[in-house]
Chain A
Amino acid sequence: MTETFDQWQFVIAAYALGGATTLGLAVYSWLAMRRAEARRDKVREG
């Protein structure tokens, strides 16, 4: 007995996961950086 796969389902799953995770990590890191720098500037002014 042999299994048959739709290979594109695996390709799409890998790309969706990889793309979403990479983009999510970049956006999270960017926003965290902006928040931390805004807090530092606020403390400096205050």
Chain B
Amino acid sequence: MHGFANPARFLRIARWATPLCLLLGFALAAGALVWGVFFAPADALQGDTVRIVYLHVPTAWLGMGGWSAIAIASFTEIVWRHPLAGIAARAVALPGAVFTALCLITGSIWGRPAWGTWWVWDGRLTSMLVLLFLYFGYMALDAAARGSQQARQGQSRITAIFGLVGAVNIPVIHYSVTWWNSLHQPPSITMGKSAMAADFLVPLLIATVGFSLIFGGIVMARMRTILADEQAEARLRRKAMRAQAPVAGEAW
């Protein structure tokens, strides 16, 4: 496992995996959305608005999955001081925030015709909004920590601790519809079983695989960006130090 997390090995794999994930992901997601819009049946109660499920549910799962990935990477960074773990967590934050925001907005668009309101302050919606704020907090903290001397020396673990603590919200989101009364429906898909008919379930699962691949491709692209920036900065620092060395010697 540690061998795969070597930055050079990661770059070798990511070079072909990034475009593959993005292309395959967009093909699957687009196919599933077209299926959902034109070929899947309308729901008996909700009518055509049920088609929003093919976008809303994958973005919800990926918003939560993104923070789970941040928590796992943060744990790895704290315990094993792994060089790629912190980079992976930083790379997940932006797509995680964007997919969480998409989940909230598509949910709101769905809620208006289905519930008669754009927003209610119930457990599921509120805990998902808290997740979006956690992502914003994580990105702000990361930007601040990277500017500090400690972070430049690789000693700042504050974002990793925040990533771990924020994971408390994930089970709250998951169980919010069973713990509290909610307009939001209870989970339709649980481990190994589904309350959804196959007509809805198959395009939903394909859309989820497609969006997951897109998410993975974006995370890899962002990890490559962070690695390339760090390599360029390190090389520029070494050049600057070499340029200063003879001057310092002369002064001595």
Contact = CB atoms under 8 A, between A and B. Distances in A.
A14 B217 contact: no
B51 A11 contact: yes
B98 A25 contact: yes
B214 A13 contact: no
B235 interface: yes
Q: Which secondary structure dominates chain B's binding surface?
A: helix
A21 B102 contact: yes
Contacts, number: 97
B221 A37 contact: no
B225 interface: yes
B209 interface: no
A32 B106 CA distance: 27
Interface residues of B, number: 40
Interface string A18-29: 110111011001
B49 A21 contact: no
8 contacts: A7-B113, A10-B109, A17-B106, A17-B109, A18-B59, A26-B22, A29-B225, A43-B235
Given A22-B102, A22-B211, A26-B217, 18 more contacts: A5-B113, A7-B47, A7-B48, A10-B52, A13-B109, A14-B105, A15-B33, A18-B59, A21-B102, A22-B29, A25-B98, A29-B218, A30-B221, A33-B222, A36-B226, A37-B224, A37-B225, A43-B235
